[in-house]
Amino acid sequence: MANKVRFLGHAAFEITTSGEKKILIDPWITGNPLCPLKKEELKDPDLILITHDHADHIGEDVPFLVDGSDAVVVTQPELLGKLQEAGVAEKNFIFGTGMNIGGTVEVAGIKVTMVQAFHSAGVGSPCGFIITTEDGKRIYHAGDTGVFADMKLLGQIYPLDLALIPIGSVFVMDPLQAAWAVEMLKPKKVVPMHYRTFPVLVQDASEFAALAKEKAPEVEVLVLEPGQSIEC
């Protein structure tokens, strides 16, 4: 079985791994104008990864999604208080403490490495994640970020099968920076995210797709509609 990656709109994704584990990343479901699913359709994941505390990433659904389950929430220590106030139990946090940039944790055969991102946050610092699934495939979710030179190093340390990168400008990389990010990361496949959701953002991925093909012609660019999936 391959790993299935489903785009939920904006920066939200659901990954069903080759070992049939479910991972949600930045599950902004309720209030997300592009998400085609309801929170009830995503309940009881095995892992939830949160890149930072902005409302369009942390959302309001995490307490519902983990309620009564053994789901593990992976985020930074500074975000735990906010999530506990919202109703997430301490037992659901990785190690009960959270984790931080540079660290790798393993849950149910899945390795999660927290890496840097350059953005802002209310508490903690923004991050991205590199997920290594049971079959050794690596998926990078960049979180909200501008381009940074160490993307090249990340791609060298963790050869990537798939990169999920923001292209929407204003709050994150614009299409040109995102294309340079692809050239540095050198994933086998790339999916653009964090665009079209709000009027101020880039409204389609055509410019990014053209620039990425110019900068990194060996990388397959896959533009997904919310609800669509790919395998890796």
The per-residue pLDDT for 19 is: 96
The per-residue pLDDT for 1 is: 81
| pLDDT band for position 120 (cuts 50, 70, 90) | very high
For the sheet containing 110-116, what is the strand order? 104-107, 110-116, 127-132, 138-141, 162-166, 189-193, 220-221
pLDDT digits (tens, 9 = 90+) for 121-168: 999 999 999 999 999 999 999 999 999 999 999 999 999 999 999 999
For residue 93, the cross-strand partners are 73
CA distance 92 to 12: 20
pLDDT digits (tens, 9 = 90+) for 191-231: 999 999 999 999 999 999 999 999 999 999 999 999 999 99
The per-residue pLDDT for 3 is: 98
Domain boundaries, the chain: 4-224
The tokens of 7 are what? Answer: 């785009």
pLDDT digits (tens, 9 = 90+) for 4-39: 999 999 999 999 999 999 999 999 999 999 999 999
pLDDT digits (tens, 9 = 90+) for 32-85: 999 999 999 999 999 999 999 999 999 999 999 999 999 999 999 999 999 999
Class of domain 4-224 (CATH, top level): alpha beta
Phi and psi at 141, nearest 5°, equal -105, 115
- Give Cβ neighbours of residue 164 (< 8 Å, ≥ 6 apart): 5, 11, 13, 25, 139, 140, 141, 142, 190, 191, 193
